[in-house]
């Protein structure tokens, strides 16, 4: 109901109990209509299910739907057959109490469909094993067979059940269906021989003719055409578009084998079906005496074969009757009418008894093998009652009377049980019972069944009494006996106005479901259900095993009159009531929306009628008389606890107290509710709806709160997760780092230790202790060396080697130097080589000996200081082919007065020339050059010593050159007098000629001064240089 509450604004209410205006039929029907339009065919009245036949396939019976209802609390899901089925099944399993589901409603309202769907539900949802599978199959397959033999097309329903059926399904302790049992009630046998217009005989006849294989039909002597058979054409609608006899035949044939029929049994069964058809075609003609004679020998022949009887015996039996009077058997012929009556009686008897046999046979195949599960009553039972509904036709006869009587009885049971259970609930909950006004149909039941005074008693009496009782005498008796009954009326008893609507042979009963007028015609016959003795006897001799079984010999010898049909029916009904009373009932009330079997059509008049006679309003009133809603405290509290801060989110105390706090908080008034022992009872739907509305609003805010909390929780979880992950990664990384650091430290310690050890052992020969150290030293020295190699030959830097590599270092240094020299040498040009040669010579001569030598080192020696154009051409001419290797301007000091004269000094191939302008002043052959003198100071004077013997010579020459080092180097080299250069300290002596000597005194001073001194010497003051 809780889901019903939520859905109430959308499509009516799912439980009529929640209708505010519960006494209004219009409101009730409006609710049905609203829901029907939306294909919501199921609605509750409390625990009773009201179902409206949709006349179309709704997609609400799938396996998924079944699963949705399985094991779910009744009120949690929308109303459905399955909810009822599941609820009963659960009570059966939990309480181990037998259950029954009573399905009622008028013909065509959907009872049989509901029964089948419930069976399917159990077949699908209940636990199973191989053996159980067989039982399930048989339970399901018994249906098509029973329907073929017991259902027919009527005006109300194309598949109308013409018998009542009560089926027990047995469940073992595990809840698996293990067996079943069927009780059948009053098959409408008259249909075998007669059908009203628009109706058909039982389906099996048409199915056999349409679907039966040619071979089979030939054996049975049948033709494919139903029109050939009198019993099939009374209603003039042998073929109906909505029924596929051919397909149904296949289903039935398959079903027969599932429920254990062997070929012989099937053959016998079909032989009987065929015999009925042949019987229908047996015709009579009157002879001269007016006695009937059979005119259709062919039919007798077939009948004899199919029923396994003597043809002649059968023929005679059909046209005679045997009466036993005073112990003597009297045979008398029948007239035409009587013969036809006897024939039809035989057909009905054969068919009716075969039907009962069929039910027994099915029961055998469904029987629960107790032996396999010993112990008393190991199975619990769930009964399904699908019995013909209340029926009103244009012409109503004995059958309708019985059917409607049956419905009265069921209504009685319904009233008793619902009221009883309601009352019991109030009692058990300790709430005062308030009596409810409702129509109790007991008065009608009594009218029918009361001993002596009831209609059935009177009918029986008429049937049994000697004399010529007729249907009309029965009616008179009735009028006499029950004339004052408020629910009984006849033409005679009616007032002027109503009389018109009643025929003289009719009586009218005011059933709980409405008025029905019955014609008494045929009542006696049908009640007697008479079959002449000789026909019975013939059947007793039948070789058809089924017929033989159905007609027992004891019947012939039994003196006691058999019970009349009505009494039999009454007794079986009262047994049924006992069965039902002993079980816990659930109800399904089926409603037919229109008479045209049309989908979507809601015929309000018709429905109002059904609502009325099904007593639905009464049912609702009873349910509502006390309280509209009741629910266990736990469930109520669970649903509404959020509406009160004291009960939300959890109530610690007893649910009873919690609910008390809650309703107080909600402001329920005293008269609005009552607190039972285990349940709260709420009187008006509006109280509940107000609470429900409050819950709706509360839900919104709760949802927001829950969402927020959930989001908070969700993100916090996520955050914590991330944090945890981060910490894990961090710690892992730190660990890794720590381990790396530790191993690095360890390695470092080891290395240092090795190093120290190596250091200690460094001077030992190579051994394990020092090898690393030595290798390292070697390596680092070599690496250092590699980085710091001397850049050039002048770079004297060299890393200091460790002692162990001293020798190596030396060798390497040498190598390196050689390599540098070698590569340097490779690179130098001839000019440069010459330059260097000269520089080397200069170095050898002057390095460390003459003060101004260092200044000359960086200055390059130049090939010549004077170009040929600076030398006088005359001089060049005189020199002829002498090549001038070097020329430099010099100052010559006279030998006597030491006067300074500007001259040029030329070095030729073999001699030195001193030139003054165009004149060669002096030629000194290299051979005559005995030496060269120069001071150690920074001056630039020098003396060329010349061999004296040479007369041409004027003595030694005192010269001064600005490039003294260069000039002297070149001169010495040209003259090959390198070893003849003297570097003097103090003074230089030189020859002036003819044994005379001159002296040059050198001193250091602040600046250069060259002058003749008083002592006649040439005094030279050379400036002091920083380098010295």
Ligand X SMILES: Nc1ncnc2c1ncn2[C@@H]1O[C@H](COP(=O)(O)OP(=O)(O)O)[C@@H](O)[C@H]1O
Size of residue set near ligand X by CB under 6 A: 21
Which residue is it, tokens 């010099």? 890
Task: Specify the 3-state DSSP secondary structure of 536.
Answer: helix
Return the residue of 14, 43, 47, 53 that touches ligand X, per CB under 6 A.
53
Strand-strand pairing, 514-519 and 48-52: unpaired
Residue 387 C-beta: closest distance to Mg ion, Å: 8
Rg (CA), the chain: 71
* Omega cis (within 30) before 649: yes
Residue 110 C-beta: closest distance to ligand X, Å: 3
Strand-strand pairing, 673-675 and 679-682: antiparallel
Using the contact rule CB under 6 A, the part of the chain among 110-118, 553-561, 932-940, 986-994 near ligand X is 110-118
Residue 402 C-beta: closest distance to ligand X, Å: 16
Using the contact rule CB under 6 A, the part of the chain among 106-114, 704-712, 735-743, 924-932 near ligand X is 106-114
Which residue is it, tokens 């003795």? 533
Residue 105 found at the interface with ligand X (CB under 6 A):
yes
The residue among 111 and 641 lying less far from Mg ion, judged by its C-beta, is 111
Residues β-bridged to residue 293: 285
Tokens of 27: 């409101």
Q: Out of 43, 88, 125, 160, pick the active-site residue.
A: 160
Q: Out of 12, 46, 105, 108, pick the active-site residue.
A: 108
The residue among 85 and 981 lying less far from ligand X, judged by its C-beta, is 85
Query: How far apart are the C-alpha atoms of 403 and 410, rounded to whole Å?
Result: 11
Phi first, then psi: give them for residue 232, nearest 5 degrees: -105, -5
Q: Is 852 a catalytic residue?
A: no
Residue 166 C-beta: closest distance to Mg ion, Å: 13
Return the residue of 14, 87, 107, 125 that touches ligand X, per CB under 6 A.
107
Residue 411 C-beta: closest distance to Mg ion, Å: 18
Residue 113 found at the interface with ligand X (CB under 6 A):
yes
Residue 542 found at the interface with ligand X (CB under 6 A):
no
Residue 288 found at the interface with ligand X (CB under 6 A):
no
Return the residue of 14, 161, 190, 922 that touches ligand X, per CB under 6 A.
161
Q: Out of 112, 517, 594, 770, pick the active-site residue.
A: 112
- Strand segments, DSSP code E, in 217-319 are 284-286, 292-294
Task: Provide the greatest CA pair distance for the chain.
Answer: 221
110 alpha-carbon distance from chain centroid: 37
Return the residue of 25, 55, 155, 443 that touches ligand X, per CB under 6 A.
55
Question: For residues 98 and 383, is the Cβ–Cβ distance under 8 A?
Answer: yes
Q: Is 112 a catalytic residue?
A: yes
Residue 445 C-beta: closest distance to ligand X, Å: 22
Residue 1019 binds which one of ligand X, Mg ion, none, with CB within 5 to 8 A depending on kind?
Answer: none
Residue 111 C-beta: closest distance to ligand X, Å: 3
Q: Out of 161, 544, 852, 856, pick the active-site residue.
A: 161
Element (H, E) at 264: helix 263-280
The binding site for Mg ion (CB under 5 A) comprises 111-112, 161
The residue among 185 and 426 lying less far from Mg ion, judged by its C-beta, is 185
Residue 251 C-beta: closest distance to ligand X, Å: 14
Query: How far apart are the C-alpha atoms of 575 and 550, rounded to whole Å?
Result: 23
Between residue 584 and residue 603, which ones bind ligand X under the rule CB under 6 A?
590
Q: Is 938 a catalytic residue?
A: no
Residue 98 found at the interface with ligand X (CB under 6 A):
no
Question: For residues 602 and 36, is the Cβ–Cβ distance under 8 A?
Answer: yes
Buried b (16+ CB within 10 A) or exposed e, 985-1011: eebbebbebeeeebebebebeeeeebe
Question: For residues 458 and 481, is the Cβ–Cβ distance under 8 A?
Answer: yes
Sheet holding 42-45, edge to edge: 42-45, 48-52, 584-591, 99-105, 380-386, 164-171, 177-185
Q: Is 78 a catalytic residue?
A: no
The residue among 153 and 348 lying less far from Mg ion, judged by its C-beta, is 153
Residue 468 found at the interface with ligand X (CB under 6 A):
no
Query: How far apart are the C-alpha atoms of 454 and 457, rounded to whole Å?
Result: 5
Residue 54 found at the interface with ligand X (CB under 6 A):
yes
The residue among 402 and 447 lying less far from ligand X, judged by its C-beta, is 402
Q: Is 161 a catalytic residue?
A: yes
Q: What is the DSSP string of 961-991?
A: ETTHHHHHHHHHHHHT-GGGEEEESSEEEEE
Residue 99 C-beta: closest distance to Mg ion, Å: 21
Residue 41 C-beta: closest distance to ligand X, Å: 7
Query: How far apart are the C-alpha atoms of 83 and 15, rounded to whole Å?
Result: 13
> What are the angstrom distances between the C-alpha of 235 and each of 156, 308, 522, 840?
14, 31, 19, 154
Closest by CA position to 383, among listed 227, 158, 187, 180: 180
Q: Is 290 a catalytic residue?
A: no
Return the residue of 12, 280, 389, 454 that touches ligand X, per CB under 6 A.
389
Residue 57 binds which one of Mg ion, ligand X, none, with CB within 5 to 8 A depending on kind?
Answer: ligand X
Residue 108 found at the interface with ligand X (CB under 6 A):
yes
The residue among 114 and 132 lying less far from ligand X, judged by its C-beta, is 114
Query: How far apart are the C-alpha atoms of 389 and 613, rounded to whole Å?
Result: 11
Residue 510 C-beta: closest distance to ligand X, Å: 23
The residue among 161 and 904 lying less far from ligand X, judged by its C-beta, is 161
Q: How many helices (H) and strands (E) does the chain have?
A: 35, 31
Question: For residues 218 and 302, is the Cβ–Cβ distance under 8 A?
Answer: no
Angle, helices 604-613/25-37, rounded to nearest 10 degrees: 120
The residue among 111 and 305 lying less far from Mg ion, judged by its C-beta, is 111
The residue among 406 and 546 lying less far from ligand X, judged by its C-beta, is 406
Residue 12 C-beta: closest distance to ligand X, Å: 19
Residue 157 found at the interface with ligand X (CB under 6 A):
yes
Q: Out of 43, 88, 104, 107, pick the active-site residue.
A: 107
Query: How far apart are the C-alpha atoms of 44 and 623, rounded to whole Å?
Result: 11
Angle, helices 263-280/245-258, rounded to nearest 10 degrees: 140
Between residue 187 and residue 246, which ones bind ligand X under the rule CB under 6 A?
none
Q: Out of 47, 88, 157, 928, pick the active-site residue.
A: 157
The residue among 58 and 840 lying less far from ligand X, judged by its C-beta, is 58
**Among positive and negative, which fits the CA dihedral 746, 749, 755, 759?**
negative
Residue 57 found at the interface with ligand X (CB under 6 A):
yes
Residue 874 binds which one of Mg ion, ligand X, none, with CB within 5 to 8 A depending on kind?
Answer: none
Q: Out of 113, 147, 199, 391, pick the active-site residue.
A: 391
The residue among 112 and 933 lying less far from ligand X, judged by its C-beta, is 112
Q: What is the DSSP string of 638-669?
A: HHHGGGSTTTSS---S-HHHHHHHHHHHHT--
Which residue is it, tokens 């790396």? 740
Return the residue of 160, 519, 928, 969 that touches ligand X, per CB under 6 A.
160
Residue 361 found at the interface with ligand X (CB under 6 A):
no
Which residue is it, tokens 């039910």? 359
Residues β-bridged to residue 935: 984
Q: Is 391 a catalytic residue?
A: yes
The residue among 220 and 403 lying less far from ligand X, judged by its C-beta, is 403
Using the contact rule CB under 6 A, the part of the chain among 53-61, 181-189, 933-941, 960-968 near ligand X is 53-61
Q: Is 541 a catalytic residue?
A: no
Residue 112 found at the interface with ligand X (CB under 6 A):
yes
Residues designated catalytic:
107-108, 112, 157, 160-161, 389, 391
- Binding positions for ligand X, rule: CB under 6 A: 53-58, 105, 107-113, 157-161, 389, 590
């Amino acid at each position: 109901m809780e889901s019903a509450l939520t859905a109430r604004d959308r499509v009516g209410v799912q439980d009529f109990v929640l209708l505010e205006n519960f006494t209004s039929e219009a409101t009730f029907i409006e609710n049905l209509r609203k829901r029907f339009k939306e294909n919501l065919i199921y609605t509750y009245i409390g625990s009773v299910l009201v179902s409206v036949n949709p006349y179309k396939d709704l997609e609400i019976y799938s396996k998924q739907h079944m699963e949705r209802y399985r094991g779910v609390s009744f009120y949690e899901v929308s109303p459905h057959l399955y909810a009822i089925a599941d609820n009963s099944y659960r009570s059966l399993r939990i309480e181990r109490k037998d259950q029954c589901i009573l399905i009622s409603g008028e013909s065509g309202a959907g009872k049989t469909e509901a029964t089948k769907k419930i069976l399917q539900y159990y077949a699908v949802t209940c636990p199973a094993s191989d053996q159980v599978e067989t039982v399930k199959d048989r339970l399901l397959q018994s249906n098509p067979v029973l329907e073929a033999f017991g259902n027919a097309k009527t005006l109300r329903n194309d598949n109308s059940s013409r018998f009542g059926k009560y089926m027990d399904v047995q469940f073992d302790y595990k809840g698996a269906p293990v067996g079943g049992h069927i009780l059948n009630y009053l098959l409408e046998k008259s249909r075998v021989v007669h059908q009203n217009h628009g109706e058909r005989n039982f389906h099996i006849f048409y199915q056999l003719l349409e679907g039966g294989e040619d071979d089979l039909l030939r054996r049975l002597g049948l033709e494919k055409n139903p029109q050939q058979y009198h019993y099939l054409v009374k209603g003039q609608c042998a073929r109906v578009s909505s029924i596929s006899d051919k397909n149904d035949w296949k289903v039935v044939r398959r079903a027969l084998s599932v429920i254990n029929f062997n070929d012989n049994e099937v053959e016998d069964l079909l032989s009987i079906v065929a015999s009925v058809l042949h019987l229908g075609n047996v015709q009579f003609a009157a002879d001269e005496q007016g006695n009937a004679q059979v005119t259709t020998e062919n039919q007798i022949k077939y009948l004899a074969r199919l029923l396994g009887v003597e043809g002649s015996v059968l023929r005679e039996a059909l046209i005679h009757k045997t009466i036993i009077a005073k112990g003597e058997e009297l045979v008398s012929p029948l007239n035409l009418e009587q013969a036809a009556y006897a024939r039809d009686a035989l057909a009905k008897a054969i068919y009716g008894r075969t039907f009962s046999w069929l039910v027994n046979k099915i029961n055998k195949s469904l029987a629960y093998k107790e032996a396999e599960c010993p112990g008393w009553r190991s199975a619990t039972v769930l009964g399904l009652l699908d019995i013909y509904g209340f029926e009103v036709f244009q012409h109503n006869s004995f059958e309708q009377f019985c059917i409607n009587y049956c419905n009265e009885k069921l209504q009685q049971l319904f009233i008793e049980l619902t009221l009883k259970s309601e009352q019991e609930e109030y009692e058990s909950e300790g709430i005062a019972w308030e009596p409810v006004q409702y129509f109790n149909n007991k008065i009608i039941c009594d009218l029918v069944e009361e001993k002596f005074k009831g209609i059935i008693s009177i009918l029986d009496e008429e049937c049994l009494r000697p004399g010529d009782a007729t249907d009309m005498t029965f009616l008179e008796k009735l009028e006499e006996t029950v004339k004052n009954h408020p629910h009984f009326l006849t033409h005679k008893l009616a007032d002027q106005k109503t009389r018109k609507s009643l025929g003289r042979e009719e009586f009218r009963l005011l059933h709980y479901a409405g008025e029905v007028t019955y014609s008494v015609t045929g009542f006696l016959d049908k009640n007697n259900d008479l079959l002449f003795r000789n026909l019975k006897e013939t059947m007793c001799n039948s070789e058809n095993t089924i017929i033989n079984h159905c007609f027992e010999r004891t019947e012939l010898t039994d003196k006691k009159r058999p019970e009349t049909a009505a009494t039999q029916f009454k007794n079986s009904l009262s047994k049924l009531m006992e069965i039902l009373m002993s079980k816990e009932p659930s109800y399904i009330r089926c409603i037919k929306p229109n008479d045209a079997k049309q989908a979507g059509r809601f015929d309000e008049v018709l429905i109002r009628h059904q609502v009325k006679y099904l007593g639905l309003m009464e049912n609702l009133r009873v349910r509502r008389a006390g309280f509209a809603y009741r629910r266990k405290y736990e469930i109520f509290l669970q649903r509404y606890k959020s509406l009160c801060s004291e009960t939300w989110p959890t109530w610690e105390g007893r649910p009873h107290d919690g609910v008390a706090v809650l309703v107080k908080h909600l402001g329920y008034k005293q008269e609005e509710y009552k607190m039972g022992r285990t349940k709260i009872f709420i009187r008006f739907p509006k109280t509940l709806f107000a609470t429900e509305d409050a819950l709706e609003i509360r839900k919104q805010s709760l949802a927001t709160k829950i969402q927020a909390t959930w989001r908070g929780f969700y993100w916090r979880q996520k955050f914590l997760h991330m944090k945890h992950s981060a910490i894990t990664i961090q710690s892992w990384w730190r660990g890794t780092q720590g381990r790396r650091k530790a191993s690095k430290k360890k390695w470092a310690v080891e290395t240092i230790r090795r190093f120290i050890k190596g250091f200690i052992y460094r001077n030992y020969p190579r051994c394990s202790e020092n090898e690393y150290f030595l290798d390292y030293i070697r390596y680092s020295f070599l690496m250092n060396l590699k980085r710091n190699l001397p850049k050039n030959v002048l770079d004297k830097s060299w890393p200091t080697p460790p002692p162990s590599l001293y020798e190596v270092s030396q060798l390497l240094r040498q190598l390196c130097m050689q390599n540098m020299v070698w590569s340097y040498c490779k690179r130098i040009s001839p000019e440069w080589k010459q330059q260097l040669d000269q520089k080397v010579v200069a170095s050898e001569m002057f390095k460390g000996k003459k003060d101004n030598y260092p200044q000359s080192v960086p200055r390059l020696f130049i090939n010549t200081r004077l170009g040929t154009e600076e030398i006088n051409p005359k001089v060049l001419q005189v020199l002829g082919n002498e090549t001038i290797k070097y020329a430099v301007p010099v100052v010559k000091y006279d030998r006597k007065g030491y006067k300074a004269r500007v001259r040029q000094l030329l070095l030729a191939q073999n001699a030195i020339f001193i030139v003054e302008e165009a004149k060669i002043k002096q030629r000194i052959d290299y051979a005559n050059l005995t030496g060269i003198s120069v001071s150690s100071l920074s001056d630039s004077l020098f003396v060329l010593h010349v061999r004296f013997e040479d007369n041409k010579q004027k003595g030694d020459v005192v010269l001064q050159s600005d490039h003294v080092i260069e000039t002297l180097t070149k001169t010495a080299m040209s003259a090959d007098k390198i070893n003849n250069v003297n570097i003097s300290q103090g003074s230089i002596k030189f020859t002036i000629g003819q044994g005379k000597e001159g002296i040059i005194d050198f001193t250091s001073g602040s600046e250069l001064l060259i002058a003749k001194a008083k002592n006649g010497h040439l005094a030279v003051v050379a400036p002091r240089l920083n380098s010295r």
